[in-house]
C-alpha cells in the first residue's frame, strides 16, 4: 500500500493511510471513553451534560463533581498510562525484546521501594508531599544499579534484562521487608499505592506530572531518530556512525524518567508498559514516532478504562485501577510469552 508523507518546513514524516485511520479511530474511541468516564459514577449525568459541566455551565454541585473530582482523576490516569506505555516502548526497542517493560528492568521495583521506605520512615515527619520525589529517586537508583552491573565494555541488551530481573527481585524483597516492620496504617497506604491507584487525584497533581513528563520527553526529540538503529546488531549500528553507548544511556534515562514519574503519582501499575507498546506495534507500523503516539494513546486509554471500572462496577467500593490493569495484563503477558517460545 502506498505511504503518505507529511511535511511541514523541515519536518517530514512518512506513514501509511491505514495506520492513520487506526490512529484516528483510537483517538475517537479515547474521546468517547473520556466523556463516559466524566458522566458515569455515583452521580450519573446524561451523555450531553459533560461538555457543558466542563465549561462550568450548570449547578455548582455537578460542576464541582466534574471539574474537581472526576476530571483531575481522569487526566492523571491518562498521563500515567501514556508515560508507562512510552517507557515500555523505548525499553522494548532498547533490549530488542517485546516482553521487556519497566516492571522487568527494575524501574518500577525501585520506585516502589523508594516510596515504601519514604512512607515508613519519613512520611510521619515530612508528610506525603515528597512521596513522588522518593519514588523517582528510587527508580533512578535502581536503573543506575542495573546499568553499572550490566556494564562490561559497554551495555548489551541481554545483560540489561538479566541484571534487571535480579534488581527487581531485590527491590521487591526490600519492599516486603519494610512493610513487615511498618505500622498497619503505613502498610495499608503502601498496599493501595503498590497496587496502582489514582484515587483522590487533584488538578495540582495532574499538572505536576504533566510538567515532569514534558521535561523528561525533551531529550527524546533528538534521540527518536536513533531508536530504530537499536534493532540492529551493535556492529552494524556503530557502522552507521551512531554513538551506541551514549544513545543507549540516553534512551534508558528517558525511559526511567517516564516510568519513575508515572509510578510516583499513580502507583506501581503493572503490565501497562508491556501491553500498550505491543498493541501499538500491531496496530500501526512505520516510524518510532507514530508507534510512540499510538502507544501513549493506548496506555492512557487502558488506565482510564481500568479506573472507570474500579470506581463504578463495585459501588459503593472504589477499587484501585491497578487491579483491573493486572486482570487484563497477566493473560496477555502469558499469551506473548507462549508466542515467543514457539
The mean pLDDT value for 248-262 works out to 86
266/55: higher pLDDT: 266
Mean pLDDT of 191-219: 87
Which of 25-39, 111-125, 174-188 has the highest mean predicted lDDT (pLDDT)? 25-39
Q: What are the tens digits of pLDDT across the range 141-190?
A: 988 888 888 777 666 667 777 888 888 889 889 888 888 887 777 777 77
Buried (b) or exposed (e) across 299-336, using 16+ Cβ within 10 A?
bbbbbbbbbbbbbbeeeeebbbbbebbbeebeeebeee
pLDDT confidence of residue 1: 47
Q: Which domains does the chain carry?
A: 16-341 (1.10.3470.10)
What pLDDT does 264 receive? 85
Residue with C-alpha cell 503516539?
A: 293
Work out the number of other CB atoms within 10 angstroms of the CB of residue 286.
16
* Separation CA 117–CA 195 (nearest Å): 16
The least confident of 125-129, 198-202, 227-231, 334-338 is: 227-231
Q: If you search the block for the grid coordinates 487533584, which residue do you land on? A: 202
Interval 218-247 mean pLDDT:
70
- The Cα–Cα gap between 311 and 73 comes to 11
pLDDT of 341 over the 60 cut: no
Confidence of residue 7 (pLDDT cuts 50, 70, 90): low
**225: pLDDT strictly greater than 80:** no
Do residues 128 and 110 lie in contact, with contact meaning Cβ atoms separated by under 8 Å? no
Whether pLDDT at 285 is above 50: yes
Q: Is the pLDDT of residue 340 over 90?
A: no
pLDDT score of 234: 59
Average pLDDT over every residue of 129-151: 85
Compute the average pLDDT of residues 33-45: 87
DSSP states of 129-162: TTHHHHHHHHHHHHHHHHHHHHBSSSB-HHHHHH
Mean pLDDT (the chain) is 82
By C-alpha distance, which of 176, 167, 162, 138 is closest to 257?
138
Report CA dihedral (247, 234, 282, 108) to the nearest 10 degrees: -50
SS (H, E, C) 67-98: HHHHHHHHHHHHHHHHHHHHHHHHHHHHHCCC
Query: Max Cα separation, the chain?
Result: 65
- The pLDDT score that the predictor gives to residue 304 is 93
Helix (H, G, I), strand (E, B) or coil at 221: helix
Amino acid at each position: 500500500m502506498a505511504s503518505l508523507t507529511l511535511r511541514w518546513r523541515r519536518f517530514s514524516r512518512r506513514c501509511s493511510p491505514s495506520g492513520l485511520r487506526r490512529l484516528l479511530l483510537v483517538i475517537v474511541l479515547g474521546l468517547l471513553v473520556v466523556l463516559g468516564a466524566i458522566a458515569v459514577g455515583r452521580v450519573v449525568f446524561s451523555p450531553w451534560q459533560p461538555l457543558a459541566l466542563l465549561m462550568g455551565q450548570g449547578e455548582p454541585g455537578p460542576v464541582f463533581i466534574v471539574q474537581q473530582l472526576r476530571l483531575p482523576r481522569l487526566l492523571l490516569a491518562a498521563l500515567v498510562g501514556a508515560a508507562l506505555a512510552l517507557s515500555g516502548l523505548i525499553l522494548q526497542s532498547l533490549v530488542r525484546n517485546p516482553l521487556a517493560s519497566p516492571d522487568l528492568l527494575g524501574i518500577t521495583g525501585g520506585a516502589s521501594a523508594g516510596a515504601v521506605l519514604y512512607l515508613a520512615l519519613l512520611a510521619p515527619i515530612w508528610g506525603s508531599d515528597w512521596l513522588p520525589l522518593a519514588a523517582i529517586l528510587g527508580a533512578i537508583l535502581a536503573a543506575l544499579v542495573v546499568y553499572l552491573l550490566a556494564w562490561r565494555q559497554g551495555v548489551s541488551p541481554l545483560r540489561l534484562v538479566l541484571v534487571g530481573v535480579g534488581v527487581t527481585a531485590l527491590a521487591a524483597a526490600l519492599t516486603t521487608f519494610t512493610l513487615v516492620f511498618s505500622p498497619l496504617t503505613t502498610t495499608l497506604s503502601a498496599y493501595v499505592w503498590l497496587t496502582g491507584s489514582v484515587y483522590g487525584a487533584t488538578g495540582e497533581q495532574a499538572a505536576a506530572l504533566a510538567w515532569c513528563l514534558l521535561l523528561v520527553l525533551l531529550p527524546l526529540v533528538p534521540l527518536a531518530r536513533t531508536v530504530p538503529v537499536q534493532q540492529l546488531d551493535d556492529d552494524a549500528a556503530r557502522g552507521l556512525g551512531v554513538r551506541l553507548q551514549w544513545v543507549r544511556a540516553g534512551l534508558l534515562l528517558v525511559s526511567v524518567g517516564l516510568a519513575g514519574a508515572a509510578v510516583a503519582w499513580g502507583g506501581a501499575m503493572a503490565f501497562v508498559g508491556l501491553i500498550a507498546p505491543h498493541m501499538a506495534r500491531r496496530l500501526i507500523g512505520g516510524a518510532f514516532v507514530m508507534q510512540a503516539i499510538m502507544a501513549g494513546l493506548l496506555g492512557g486509554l487502558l488506565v482510564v478504562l481500568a479506573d472507570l471500572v474500579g470506581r463504578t462496577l463495585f459501588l459503593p467500593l472504589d477499587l484501585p485501577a491497578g487491579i483491573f490493569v493486572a486482570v487484563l495484563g497477566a493473560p496477555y503477558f502469558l499469551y506473548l510469552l507462549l508466542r515467543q517460545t514457539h
